[in-house]
Structure 1
Amino acid sequence: MEDVARLAGVSLKSVSRVVNREPHVSDGLRAKVEAAIAALAFVPDAAARSLAGSRTFIVGLLFDNPSPNYTIKIQSGVYRACVEQQYHLRIDNIASDLPRAEVEAQLDAIVRNSRCDGFILTPPLTDNVQVLAFLERRGVRYARIAPNSELGRSPCVAIDDAAAGALVARHLWALGHRRLGVVTGPPLHRAGDRRRTGFLAAIRQLDPDLVVAEADGLFSFESGIAAGMDLLARDPRPTAIFATNDDSAAGVMVACARAGLRVPHDISLCGFDDSWVAKSVWPYLTTIYQPIEEMGYAAASLLLDRGETGDRQVMLDFHLVERDSLAPPP
């Protein structure tokens, strides 16, 4: 670092501030130091950076989500942001449906042992007030992905899940479907519940008397099969089903096959996420695209932004991806 400071004509402290990406560094100073770093092919030492800035340069990602596709994409986005800012990523699973003492014991072990500079929370942890309160008591910074409550409590990234659910409802309605079913998400997953409530609210606007059949799901393939068999046994049977994630939609597709029903000739099906699952089943699944990887990247970027930006909210776009699993009712 001494060589960098000498070449740039600045102090060691100034080099440290640029290397540690501290706020309130002038563009001119940053340019001089970065030019010297490039000229000398200087690579900052992680231990020295940690010592100089009282940071560990480790970000923790906490999840409790049964969908491997969702989790992998979030990890990819968070990791990309960490690499760009020279941080390491640690990943931990939190079982949030346990008694309070056990949840806090898990968190305490992770916070004490990981020494992370901050954490990224994914659903359903994003809306778990016990988790949020624990981190706040410990003075640990965090950013949330897809929260649906107290948005101003922390930096967060989301899409409008309710609007996305409403979009699916209106699309199915426009195709002529009037016997509709929904496969819900896990009980603690508020983003999944907002997809459901947005769907139901849109249908009520179109026909206040229409009753939508509902079946419980857990965002997993296996739960999708069970929920699909449940809905297909109803009388009258739905002509279209909205599954609130792609994994459960794939399970519903299996249930349809077992019942001798062809998608979309006998029944239509829509998922949510636009994961690899949507393009692995046949027929290819119509689904809502949400930028999962970009949500992870944006959340990590907000967490690592140490400037005086305050709590920030980033809303990303979604859209319907039309493939082969929807058709007018038979």
Structure 2
Amino acid sequence: MDDTEEVLRVTGLAKHYPVRSGPLRRRTGRVHAVDGVDLALRAGRTLGLVGESGCGKTTTGRMAVRLLEPTAGKIVVAGRDVTRARGADLRALRRDLQLVFQDPYASLSPRMTVHDIIAEPLRVQGRYDDGGAKRVAELLDMVRLAPAHARRYAHEFSGGQRQRIGIARALALDPKVLVLDEPVSALDVSIQAQVVNTLRELQRDLGVAYLFISHDLSVVRHVSHEIAVMYLGKVVERGTREDIFRRAAHPYTQALLSAVPRPEPGGAGRRDRITLTGDVPSPVDPPSGCRFRTRCWKARDVCAAEEPPLVVREGSGHPVACHFPGPAEPRTGTTTTKETL
């Protein structure tokens, strides 16, 4: 049992957007971007949040740091309910929760030097006058950049260096949690490894917790202690890294994992590839019952009638939202191919 401090918990988190049509722009429906997500994160740990594009990962992360207001749900940071925080309470939240964006260039002001970019949160929180310049130099060193870089502008750096600047800025206020939204997806593979290793070193030294949002399961496996898998606005499986990669019980998770390249040569690299047929349903009108049932080879009548709760089920050993969890046995609705890498 992990006895480290719980630094973030979201319960029943939801975000719905109205759909309007007609000359009077009347509401005719709503987009279920996120629909009842529960997550918990402990100090010094990484929770990987994975799923297809459009499943609600980024929306969940932005609600957690209150860049988006949730339609429903509760956000607790270090024991404090900050779901409806305003004013001074919201500014205090910013000290504990920071976000690193996917695009390291778009998230940095082209009109500010690196020093001013990193110093900005210190100034906003009234902490720059108390050793702010020294703090900026420390942060640059922590992310493996030279002090001389502080005088330059964002366009003078490579993509990996710009992402390091964004990480340094996010760490300026000693946050308890970093929400990392696809932090290496825009980088070359070799640079991805460097940035990921830097993040791991920072976590080891600072004890900061990461909510690591990504569609790249190979990266998530490398950095995460626990993993939550999202599909169409809901978490369908949650467990430790070993639970997900060795004992995946939800058909959607199994399909995602089957697409991950494996490095073993010859026979050791052979595995069944599960190719799902059909499109992801519209979040405006999600399927009844289990949202994955329209693409699932295990679907039965009960899957349309009842939504499976995210609970520990017999044979899974970890929470999974499926009426028929277990080993992958593709049948109708999938194409199975044997691949050798």
The TM-score, its normalising length taken from structure 1, stands at 0.30
Structure-2-length-normalised TM-score: 0.30
Greater share of helix:
1
- Over alpha carbons, which structure has the higher Rg? 1
